[in-house]
Copies of this chain bind each other. A is one copy, B any other.
Amino acid sequence: MTSEEDFFAPNTSKFITGARIDGTPQDIYIGRDGIIGAVGSDIAGEYRREADFLVDASGTIALPGLVNTHTHAAMTLLRGYADDMNLQEWLSEKIWPLEAHLTGNDVYWGTRLACLEMIRSGTIAFNDMYFFMDEAARATADAGIKGTFAHGFIDLGNDEKREAEIAATKELYAAVSTMNNPRLQVAVGPHAPYTVSPEGLEWCAGFSRDNDIGLHIHLAETEQEVSDCTRQHGMRPAALLDQCGCLTDRTVAAHCCWLNEDESRLIAERGVTVSHNPASNMKLAVGRAMPYHWLKDAGARVSLGTDGCSSNNNLDLIEEMKFAALLQKYAWNSSVLLPAHEALTLATSAGARALRTGGGVIAPGSAADIILLDTRTPSMVPLHNADSNIVYAASGAAVSTVFCNGTALMFEKVIPGEEDILIRAQECADDLVAQSSS
């Protein structure tokens, strides 16, 4: 074992020993290529000596790294700036005036803060939509996790705006391609059916198809949005998106609270991944929970997202799993809906498939996106059922160690450079408030 600094370096192999996987202590070998080479209780003979580093993981549970399929990462800077307000007042009096002063530097440090928070709570990939997304990509590259970045595309039916958004989307695609970092991807980000014209939606669908990249959109978050769409377009929002070519297996649709049964089946048929955001939906009082039972019955892909920090107000997917499992039970009046092991699937393999991270399972050939959760803490005792403890009793604070593509990003709660990021993010947040109130 060499120095701590070396341990955090990429392209080193690791032998992780004694972590619980599916109920039994097993070992994991991670190759220098960041890929899981072997998993099992009998691999030590072949792989242990080969590894650059040995990680004693006894007393931990190993999980695939968590995947957040809907957030606005840099909104960490707005955490706690305005809560407990009516939506329109909140946006027009608080959020938008502050965002008007946002710079690329703010987005860089806000995203660094978000990545720090995600690493601390076990998230190794996220689906982002915001402004200055080249800066968000740069921050994520520096943080070491995986990000998919969409410029929030809003044309409000205006041709000039649409051309500008098309240019911005192409520019982001070029900028991130130039970074040539396999952890970074671009998605096209039509904001929502009510903020983007059918022409804009069609262009986005085409750009996603032609470049084989994701399409990230808000869908059916509020009842108002559904009734407005029906009045304006003569069809519900999912049908409108489908008509514009926006529903494919590259699509992540956030919220989906107000889908009806037919729309749930359409979402399933098209291979769309829904991103369930229960905490945000509850906080903003959207009036209905994503219909998990209809989506599940139809065979739809469902994943999990935190939404941005001004409507949640954290990025803790372990907490979000509990909100999901409990909100589904409460809202649809069934204590058996969305059991713990399904909630874990939403936050791991379903998200990894949607964002094409190469991970999502702990198995040979998969990207070594692995997190270790400490079981030697009161809320994880007794360990009758690990899935239940993780979903219902733990929080993100249970995560002790994080690997992304085999690189250690946090080891036994230590993240190199954390303090400096906290200071810089706080400064950006303070400056934003000072500017918006001057």
Contact = CB atoms under 8 A, between A and B. Distances in A.
A116 interface: yes
A385 interface: yes
Contact of A314 (B334, B337, B393): B393
A422 B381 contact: yes
A80 interface: yes
Interface residues of A, number: 73
A17 to B, nearest CB: 21
A283 B326 contact: yes
A91 to B, nearest CB: 12
A51 to B, nearest CB: 29
B330 A285 contact: yes
A362 to B, nearest CB: 21
A395 B377 CA distance: 14
Contacts of A314: 379, 392-394
A96 interface: no
In order of increasing CB-CB distance, the 9 nearest A-B pairs are A397-B397, A382-B429, A84-B339, A80-B388, A117-B378, A282-B326, A395-B395, A282-B330, A313-B392
B384 A79 contact: yes
A382 B113 CA distance: 9
A122 to B, nearest CB: 13
Question: How many copies of this chain does one complex carry?
Answer: 2
A138 to B, nearest CB: 19
Contacts of A35: none
A77 interface: yes
26 contacts: A76-B382, A77-B382, A78-B384, A79-B388, A80-B386, A80-B388, A81-B385, A83-B388, A84-B325, A84-B340, A86-B336, A113-B378, A117-B378, A120-B378, A279-B322, A285-B334, A285-B337, A312-B392, A314-B392, A314-B394, A316-B379, A378-B418, A381-B425, A384-B429, A395-B396, A397-B397
A414 interface: no
Interface string A359-394: 000000000000000001111011111101100111
A267 B379 CA distance: 34
Contact of A395 (B285, B286, B319, B384): B319
A103 interface: no
A160 interface: no
A161 to B, nearest CB: 29
Nearest to A112: B378
Contacts of A425: 381-382
A353 interface: no
A167 interface: no
